[in-house]
Amino acid sequence: MAELIRGLDARRVADNLARIREAIGDVQILAAVKYLAVEELDALAEAGVTVVGENRAQELEVKATAHPELTWDFIGHLQSRKVKQIVPYVRWIHSVASDSALKELEKHAAPDTEVLVEVNIAREEGKSGIDPGELDAFLERCPVKVVGLMTMPPMAERPEDSRRWFAALAQLAGERGLPELSMGTSQDYAVAAQEGATIVRLGTILYA
C-alpha cells in the first residue's frame, strides 16, 4: 500500500483547484482521498474542496463520519458485501458493475439512493465494468436510480489517447438520457472534460 499523503498546504490545494476549474469550467471536481490521512481533510475543506471520493468502504466510514460536511462518493471497486456499509455515507456509488451488487442494493439501498454504472468501455479482459453491449439489460435490472456512467479507459501514454473512450462513454450516456459522466483523472481530466465529463476524479494534481 502506498504511503499516506500528509502535510497538505491548503493554499496550494486552493491554487491548484482554481487553476483546474479555470481549465474545465463547470465540471465537478471530486478529490480522490484514498491516500490522504483523515487529518488532512481539514486542509481540503479549507481549500474549497466540497466533493470527495474514497475507494475503500472502511476508510469511507471513518472519513465521512469525521467530515459529514463534505459530499462523499464511493469510487473504488465495489464489493457486493460492502454495499450495506457504503450506502449510508454517500451521494453516489460510481462503480456499480455486478449483479451481486444489484442484489445488495435491492436489500440495503434507501429510496433516494443514486448510482453510476461502471462501463468497461474498451472491453479490456479482466477489467471491472459492464460490457457496452450488455448495458441496457443491466440498467433494466438495477433496483435504484442510475444517474450516469463511469469508466477508466485503458492505460495510455498520452491523454489524447483516451479521447475515443471518453467520447464513446458520452455517446452511451447520451443515448440513454443519463446526465452524469464520471471520467477523467489527474492524467487526462482536460480531455475528459472536453468530451463531456460532468465529474472528474483528481488526486495528485490537486495535492502536489
Confidence of residue 4 (pLDDT cuts 50, 70, 90): confident
- Per-residue pLDDT of 74-112, as tens digits, reads 999 999 999 999 999 999 999 999 999 999 999 999 999
Question: Can you list the positions of beta strands (E) in 22-68?
Answer: 28-32, 51-54
The string of DSSP letters for 14-27 reads HHHHHHHHHHHTTP
Query: Looking at this protein, which amino acid is placed at residue 151?
Result: T
Query: Looking at this protein, which amino acid is placed at residue 147?
Result: V
In whole angstroms, give the CA distance from residue 120 to residue 43. Answer: 34
CA atoms within 13 A on the CB side of 142: 24
In whole angstroms, give the CA distance from residue 151 to residue 130. Answer: 10
The alpha helices in 115-203, defined as continuous H runs, are: 135-141, 163-175, 189-194
Task: With a cut of 90, say whether residue 61 has pLDDT above it.
Answer: yes
Give residue 3's pLDDT: 80
Q: Are 110 and 89 in contact (CB under 8 A)?
A: no
Q: Are 178 and 148 in contact (CB under 8 A)?
A: yes
Q: In terms of pTM, does the model score above 0.85?
A: yes
In whole angstroms, give the CA distance from residue 111 to residue 159. Answer: 38
In whole angstroms, give the CA distance from residue 113 to residue 119. Answer: 19
Interstrand relation of 114-118 and 28-32 (parallel, antiparallel or unpaired): unpaired
Q: How many residues does the chain have?
A: 208
Task: With a cut of 80, say whether residue 1 has pLDDT above it.
Answer: no
In whole angstroms, give the CA distance from residue 115 to residue 146. Answer: 5
CATH topology of domain 10-207: TIM Barrel (3.20.20)
Q: Are 149 and 119 in contact (CB under 8 A)?
A: yes
